[in-house]
Amino acid sequence: MIYLKELRIWLLVGVALWGIGAAAVYAWVKNPPVIEGVGSAVQYNFTILHHTKDEVKRNIYATLDKKTKNNKPASAVKSVKKINPKHQIVEDRPKTPIAGFEYVGYLERHGRNEAYVINGEEMYVVAQGDALTSRLYVINVQREVLELRYEPQGSVFVLEMSGNGE
């Protein structure tokens, strides 16, 4: 019997503490505290959680619900402006498959001529027969000139050594 009496006491204490906590939270939401001093502009505002009947709630999907005079849905694009062919925007595309590549170094190592080629921040070390890209292959490596073949058309491009190469 002593055990049940203690259990009831703990149960009453727990319910009382829960009630006090719920009342404190409710009071805090109704009158949020303002932090004074540094950062006095900081204020917790929970009033957005409570809506009054007079308040008009904003519909974030309002643009999707708009109807025209004929009660048909309004299209997202009202009209398409036709572009005069003289004023079309042309993208800046590389003129050749080797645009951006620069031949910067040459090395003879183990009987093999190697070329150092850069493209932006990437550096490639290639020799005859290697692929510089998926379609650009090295035909010949010489001290001053690097010959490349662009595979789909079989076009041959020449990169000259930039600077003095030494």
CATH number at residue 106: 2.30.30
- Let me know whether 70 and 18 are in one domain: yes
Counting the structural domains of the chain, the total is 2
Between 49 and 2, whose confidence is greater? Answer: 2
In terms of domains, do 3 and 55 share one?
yes
pLDDT at position 67 over 60: no
Residue 2 lies in a domain: yes
pTM value?
0.42
Residue 165 pLDDT greater than 50, yes or no? no
Which of the four pLDDT bands, split at 50, 70 and 90, describes residue 24?
confident
Report yes or no on 54 lying in a domain. Answer: yes
Q: What is the pLDDT of residue 110?
A: 87
Q: Could you tell me which of 105, 93, 91, 99 has the C-alpha nearest to residue 136?
A: 99
Do 105 and 58 sit in the same domain of this protein? no
Burial 11-27 (b: 16+ CB within 10 A, else e): eeeeeeeeeeeeeeeee
Residues 6+ apart with CB under 8 A from 44: 32, 33
Range of the structural domain that residue 24 is part of: 1-74
